[in-house]
Chain A
Amino acid sequence: MNLESRNNEPPNPEAQELLSALLDDQLTSEQAAELRAQLERQPKLRELLTQLEGQRAQLRQLPRVGAGSDLASRVLAEIRERSVVVELPKATEEETGPRGGWRSVYLLAGSLAAVLLLGLFLWPRNVAEQATQVAQTDAQVRRKELDARQRERECGPRQRSHGTDLPSPSVHEA
């Protein structure tokens, strides 16, 4: 592994990465010995190591921030709340299970029965009304025919006027 660079040049990238690994105690003893030899010869590399060590010290001296005193309570409260939310669909499912299904069947059957009863109640009235109307119409027709025959018998065959009266079937038959 060639880690050499000239005194005035910045350390090569491979040597720089090894410095980082040296800081974290991640090098084998051989790698560490070779790097330390390079450090003796290269002031820029030494300077970089000093900077990285100072940077680490600064990071580790950053003030620690703690959690609020009630974080654990809030976590447990939310866990309970979510557990309730998770259980709710189960309860709904039970309600819409077999019992709920029968309830729907009963409702449908009841609705159908009501429609049938209403139909039966209304049906005779309609028929009667229609029958009455038909009977009334027939009676009127028959009465007109009788009147026409009566007039023929009393006055003899009527002379046809030019298109003012409608011809009656009895006139044509005669």
Chain B
Amino acid sequence: MASKVMSEPLHDESETRLIRAATAGDPEAFGRLVLMYQDRLVNSLFHLLGNQAEAEDVAQEAFVLAFLKLATFRGQSQFYTWLFRIARNLSVSRFRRARKTASLDAVESGGSQLLLSDEPAPDRQLLVEEAGTRVREALARLSEEHRAILILRELDELDYDAIAAALELPVGTVRSRLHRARLQLKAELEALETVTGSGTREKRTS
């Protein structure tokens, strides 16, 4: 997975100018907005969906929808949180469609991992040996709403107000949900470490 330098966001005034121009029908201005936020959005979607191709598809659709709905953007929240909200709604729709078409076994094995199903099945031992991969694995095991709130807080580093706007939640709910998400992630990481420990022991004895 290639790491890329994230696009530096322009200051608010430039962003506002671009949004105005794009709303007036200037696709070049909207193209610049896409360039500003594409890496950030794809990165968040990648961790939300667990698959880069899916992340790119959803990001593309989200940008197109954002352009078509741009007249409804009132500037009461950050452009990125508005964009993320569109992208997340698309992700949830895809997730529901995937769940409908998935086999019963896949559904029973945990809905939050369904969108990771088209990735090659990695060797579990190799997966848990790398700390970053283990965190990704733990993140993928969370419910979608817990994963989304952690991504917004820890990866996008949004404050509670912005998270509340992106997820359409009261700020009080953001605080409690964020805490539950952290505890759930901690439990998943501990469970993976237990698997690693027992796997390592099995390897040593064989």
List residues of A whose CB falls within 8 A of some B CB.
16-17, 19-21, 24, 26, 51-52, 55-56, 58-68, 71-72, 74-76, 78-80, 82
A59-B154 contact in complex given A66-B42, A67-B38, A72-B34, C-beta closer than 8 Å: yes
Please, could you name 16 A-B residue pairs with CB atoms under 8 Å apart, sorted by A?
A19-B179, A20-B178, A20-B179, A26-B175, A51-B186, A58-B135, A59-B135, A60-B154, A62-B132, A62-B155, A65-B52, A67-B42, A75-B63, A79-B27, A79-B64, A80-B27
- A24 with B160: CB separation less than 8 A: yes
Kindly state the separation between the CA atoms of A71 and B183 in the bound complex, as whole angstroms. 36
B60 touches A64 (CB 8 A): no
Main SS at interface, chain A? helix
Contacts A59-B135, A78-B64 supplied; 14 other A-B pairs, CB < 8 Å: A20-B182, A21-B175, A24-B160, A59-B155, A62-B132, A62-B135, A65-B2, A66-B5, A66-B6, A67-B38, A67-B56, A67-B59, A68-B56, A75-B63
Q: How far is the CA of A20 from the CA of B175 in the complex (A)?
A: 8
Q: Mark B131-146, 1 if CB is under 8 A from A, else 0.
A: 1100110010000000
Residues of B within 8 A of A79 (CB): 27, 30, 64, 67-68
Please report whether the interface of chain B is mostly helix, strand, loop or mixed according to DSSP: helix
| Residues of chain B at the chain A interface (Cβ within 8 Å) | 1-6, 27, 30-31, 34-35, 38-39, 41-43, 46-47, 52, 55-56, 59-60, 63-64, 67-68, 131-132, 135-136, 139, 150, 153-155, 160, 175-176, 178-179, 182-183, 185-186, 189
Indicate the member of A16, A72, A74 with the most B CB atoms within 10 Å. Answer: A72
Name A58's contact: one of B39, B68, B132 (CB within 8 Å).
Answer: B132
Q: In the bound complex, do residue B55 and residue A65 qualify as a contact, i.e. CB atoms below 8 Å apart?
A: yes
> Which residue of the partner chain B has the closest CB to A52?
B182
Residues of A within 8 A of B67 (CB): 75, 79
When distances are taken between beta carbons in the complex, the residues of chain B under 8 Å from A68 are 56
Q: Roughly how many angstroms separate A21 CA and B37 CA in the complex, as a whole number?
A: 28
- Count chain B CB atoms within 10 A of each CB in A20, A66, A76, A78 and give the residue with the most: A66
Separation in Å of the B67 CB from the closest CB of chain A? 5
**Once the chains bind, are A66 and B43 in contact (CB under 8 Å)?**
yes
A21 to B177, CA, bound (A): 11
Which listed residue, B35, B60, B136, B154, touches A56 by the CB 8 Å rule? Answer: B154
Report the minimal beta-carbon distance from A23 to chain B, rounded to whole angstroms.
8
- CB neighbours of B175 from chain A (8 A): 17, 20-21, 26
Give bound CA distance, A55 to B139, whole Å.
11
Interface centre among B52, B63, B176 (most CB of A within 10 A): B63
